[in-house]
Amino acid sequence: MPSSPAPVLHYIFDPLCGWCYAAAPLLAAARALPGLAVQWHAGGMLSGAARRTITREWRAHVIPHDERIAALTGQPFGDAYYNGLLNQVGATLDSTPPIAAMLAAEAMDGRGLDLLARAQTAHYVEGQQISTLGVLQSLAGELGLDIRTFTAHCQEVLADTVQSHIQESREWLQASGGQGFPTFVLEFTDRSSGQRVAQRVDIGPWLGNPAGWAEHLQQGLERAAGALPRD
């Protein structure tokens, strides 16, 4: 009898979403679980017509959210972000370039989520403008990716596939019943029915507790496989 497809954790997010940065330790814990694949879907929160520039009003809007994230999860926010980047009035906030960079890194070496993690630190701790190609090239180089190849991939993705990826990600969000970014959906084969099912997973109780989240995910996988009784 052929084996069932491996369980997949779908991650629907945006690289410029503060609450996705809050969930970054949960994503890292999920990626470390044996036998669980992670598939990402970047939804373009600040893409296209939603792209914006930093203003004093934007700074006043996001800082209370960032402070709440820091208190809840322990995620670091640097002075270079609070008093550097957020004071750069007129700087562009555009989700499309970092999404394209992730797609390029994924195509080159399966490193899309590694680039996301590095870009989030660059933005929220180091105050770098991750919507600019030069910054993204530098981050890719830090990951050991060939910058010329990476740049060519980025340009190709920006011209061809990034918009379809964003649209498909938004369709994933709608189909999952998620209310926004981030949303996690666990897809697995139900042993009792043999059917492939997808269930949205609430991360609210686990923000700031990646070890508990990993245990919760593991128990869910074991229940799906029939190794544990259902609640």
pLDDT digit string, tens, across residues 159-217: 999 999 999 999 999 999 999 999 999 998 877 777 888 999 999 999 999 999 999 99
Q: How many domains does the chain have?
A: 1
Per the domain annotation, does 178 fall within a domain? yes
Per the domain annotation, does 230 fall within a domain? no
Given this model, what pLDDT does residue 220 score? 85
Q: Residue 71: which CATH number? A: 3.40.30.10
Per the domain annotation, does 1 fall within a domain? no
Per the domain annotation, does 188 fall within a domain? yes
What pLDDT band is residue 80 in, cutting at 50, 70 and 90? very high
- The answer to whether 103 touches 142, Cβ cutoff 8 Å, is no
Smallest Cα–Cα separation from 31: which of 184, 196, 202, 207?
184
Q: What range does the domain containing 27 cover? A: 8-224
Per the domain annotation, does 198 fall within a domain? yes
Q: Which residues pair with 199 in a beta bridge?
A: 186
- The answer to whether 88 touches 128, Cβ cutoff 8 Å, is no
